[in-house]
Structure 1
Amino acid sequence: MNQLIGEFDCKLDAKGRLMLPVLLKKQLLDVERDGLVVNRGFEKNLVIYPKKVWDETVAELSKLNMFERKNREFVRAFQRGAMPLSLDAAGRVLLPKTLVEYAGMESDIVLACQLDKIEVWDKKAYDNLFDDVPENFAALAEEVMGGKHKGGADGE
């Protein structure tokens, strides 16, 4: 799967339909054939997965020991509200009303590509995320990524 890139300001129409931006649609090579899946994000947002990425994620979830309560609770919460999406003839997807309400979305939204997924945010909520950006982003980068080795398999 190609890594998705970009941040797109969009609008939901009165029926909850979203027109996928052309530059994003070009990155989703098999979307018309395979479709997409949308579910709740970890914050008050939605996440759109290309179907192949969703299937890989669910395959990982299926490896969890379902006899453990925390695993069942996580799977249940993760899949809550998940719905398949498909493009209509005009290149739009219909976001389920319950998910739009969960994320507090109004008309103005942001599609923010995150590796192989697309986060969908209410525009105001997305902008507010960056009001709390750590004061020292470089220190956060060092903490999160500093231990990663650059180079080949031997860490050089």
Structure 2
Amino acid sequence: MSHFLGEFDCKLDAKGRMVIPSGLKKQLPEVEKEGLVINRGFEKHLVIYSRKEWDKITNDLNGLNLYEAKTREFVRYFTRGATELTLDAAGRVLLPKKLLEFAGIDSDVVLSCQLSKIEVWAKDAFEDQLDKEPEDFARLAEEVMGGAGRRTND
């Protein structure tokens, strides 16, 4: 499985359409055939998945015990607003208005590639989030990545 790379500044037009940057589009060869899925992120941003990645996630969700109230609640909120995106003839995708409102996105957008997903942020919110970088990033890395059984970089 390949992972996405890069950060891209974009603008939405008055209708909420965004051109997929060429550097990102090259990383999405199946997008015209299979499409993309956009959804709410855990923070106030949106997340774009390839259709294949979204199908893996929903298969995982489908395997959860839906008789448990917390599981139903999580699935309900996680999938809320999920929408399929398709490219138009000009290489644009129309972002759903409700999702844009949720994330506080107006016109300036940052697409931030995060492994198998693409986060969609209002530009000012993205910059604010980067300003909150931990003082001791090395310690955070050790806590997250240095656990027992983790493979080290050789």
Same fold at TM > 0.5: yes
Runs of 5+ unmatched residues, structure 2: none
Q: Tell me the residue number matched to 1:101.
A: 101
TM-score when normalising by structure 1:
0.95
Structure 2 Cα separation of the partners of residues 146 and 74 of structure 1: 29
What per-residue deviation string (whole Å, max 9, x for no partner) do you get for residues 48-87 of structure 1?
A: 0100000000000001000000000000000000010000
- 3-state SS of paired residue (1:143): helix
**How many residue pairs end up in the alignment?**
152
Shift of 1:37: 0.4
TM-score when normalising by structure 2:
0.96
Q: Tell me the residue number matched to 1:62.
A: 62
Structure 1 Cα separation of the partners of residues 152 and 63 of structure 2: 31
Structure 1 Cα separation of the partners of residues 151 and 94 of structure 2: 43
Shift of 1:29: 1.3
Shift of 1:149: 2.4
Runs of 5+ unmatched residues, structure 1: none
> Which aligned pairs between 1:70-85 and structure 2 lie closer than 5 A?
70-85=70-85
* Backbone CA RMSD of aligned residues: 1.1
Q: Tell me the residue number matched to 1:22.
A: 22
**Seq. identity, %:** 62
Shift of 1:106: 1.2
- 3-state SS of paired residue (1:27): coil
- 3-state SS of paired residue (1:10): strand
Q: Tell me the residue number matched to 1:3.
A: 3
- 3-state SS of paired residue (2:119): strand
Q: Supply the AA of the counterpart residue of 2:70.
A: K
Structure 2 Cα separation of the partners of residues 34 and 149 of structure 1: 34
Shift of 1:133: 0.8
